[in-house]
Structure 1
Amino acid sequence: MASPFHLLLFFSFLSSLGNTFPVLGFHSNSVFFPVIKDAATLQYVARISHGTPSRPNNLVVDLGGPFLWMDCDAGHVSLSNRLISSCSVNCSKAKFHDHGSKSTGGCLFNTNCNVFLYNGITGLTAKGELVEDIIAVDSVGRLEVGQIQTVDTFLFSCAPTFLLQGLASGSKGTLGLGKASISLPSQLSSSIGHPQKIFLCLSSSDGVVLTGNGHPLFGTKITRSLVYAPLITKQHDYFINVQSIKINGKRLAVDKSMLLGDEEGKLGTKLSTIVPYTTMKSSIYAIFSKAYGKAAESMNMTRVAAVAPFELCFSSKGVENTILGPLVPEIDLVLQSEMVKWRIQGRNSMVKVSNQVMCLGFLDGGLEQSSSIVIGGLQLEDNLLEFDVGSSMLGFSSSLLLKETTCSTIIQDSKLKQCI
Structure 2
Amino acid sequence: MSTFGLIFCLLPLFFGAAFPAFLAPITTDLSSKRYMLRIYLKAPPQPANLVLDLGASFSTLVYCSRSHDSSFGSTSCKARYDSPGPGCSSDSLAMPVTDGRNPGQLGVIPGFVFACGNRSLLKGLVKGAAGLAGLGRSNLSIPAQVSSFSSDNLVFALCLSGSPSAPGVAFFGSGGPYYFLPEIDLSKYLNYTPLLSNPAGSTVINYSNPSNEYFIGLTAINVNGKAVEFNQTLLSHGGTKLSTVTPYTTLHSTIYRALTEAFVNESAALNLTVTQPVKPFNVCYNAEEVMITRIGPAVPTVDFVLQDDDDDVIWRIFGWNSMVRIFRDGVDVYCLGFLDGGPNPKSTVVIGGHQMDDNLLQFDLESNRLGFSSSLLVHGTMCANFNFTTNNNLR
TM-score range, shorter chain: 0.7 to 0.9
In the alignment, residue 334 of structure 1 is paired with which amino acid?
V
Q: Is the 8 A contact 1:80 1:134 kept in 2?
A: no
Q: What is the match of residue 259 of structure 1? A: 235
Q: Is the counterpart of residue 391 in structure 1 residue 367 in structure 2? A: yes
Residue of structure 1 in register with 2:206 after alignment: none
Q: CA deviation at 1:145?
A: 5.8
Q: Which runs of 5+ in 2 are unaligned?
A: 9-14, 199-210
Task: Tell whether 2:325 aligns with 1:352.
Answer: yes
> Pick from 81, 84, 107: which aligns with 1:94?
81
Residue 140 of structure 1, CA deviation: 4.8
User: Which stretch of the first structure deviates more once superposed, 294-303 or 345-354?
Assistant: 294-303
Cα shift at 1:319: 2.0
> CA separation in 2, counterparts of 1:143 and 1:227?
21
Contact 1:283 1:367 in 2 (8 A): yes
The alignment status of 1:378 with 2:354, answered yes or no, reads yes
User: Match of 2:23?
Assistant: 32
Q: Does structure 1 residue 366 correspond to structure 2 residue 355? A: no
1:156 aligns to what?
114
Whether 2:33 is the aligned partner of 1:42: answer yes
Q: 1:81 to 1:295 in 2, by over 3 A?
A: farther
Are 1:326 and 2:315 counterparts? no
Q: Which amino acid aligns with 1:345?
A: F
CA 1:398–1:147 in 2, change beyond 3 Å: closer, same or farther?
closer
Residue matched to 1:243: 219
Q: Indicate which of 131, 134, 142 corresponds to 1:184.
A: 142
Within the candidate set 155, 176, 181, 1:215 is matched to 176
Please say if residues 78 and 87 of structure 2, whose CA atoms lie closer than 8 Å, have aligned partners that are also in contact.
no
Within 5 A, what are the aligned runs for 1:75-94?
Answer: 78-83=67-72, 85-86=74-75, 88=76, 90-94=77-81
Q: 1:133 aligns with which of 91, 94, 105?
A: 91
Supply the distance in 2 between the matched residues of 1:255 and 1:305 (Cα, whole angstroms). Answer: 29
TM-superposed CA distance for 1:379, in Å, is 0.3
CA contact (8 A) 1:28 1:140 kept: no
State the distance in 2 between where 1:151 and 1:233 align: 27
Counterpart code for 1:42? K
- Structure-2 residue corresponding to 1:343: 316
Report if aligned partners of 1:194, 1:213 keep a CA contact under 8 Å in 2.
no
Determine the C-alpha separation between the residues in 2 that align with 1:162 and 1:347: 35
- 1:69 paired residue among 60, 66, 70: 60
**CA apart distance, 1:310:** 0.6
In 2, the alpha carbon distance for the partners of 1:63 and 1:381 equals: 14
Q: 1:146 offset after TM fit, Å?
A: 4.7
Structure 2 counterpart of 1:172, from 130, 155, 173:
130
Task: Please state if 1:415 is matched with 2:373.
Answer: no
Secondary structure at 1:317 match in 2: helix
Task: Give the counterpart letter for 2:51 in structure 1.
Answer: V
**Contact map agreement 1:387 1:395 (CA 8 A) in 2:** yes
Runs of 4+, deviation exceeding 6 Å = none
| 8 Å Cα contact 1:52-1:78 kept in structure 2 | no
Q: Which amino acid aligns with 1:210?
A: F
RMSD of Structure 2 on Structure 1 (CA): 2.6
TM-score (norm 2): 0.84
The 2-side partners of 1:216 and 1:340 are apart by 22
Normalising by structure 1, we get a TM-score of 0.79
Contact 2:253-2:341 within 8 A present in 1 as well: yes
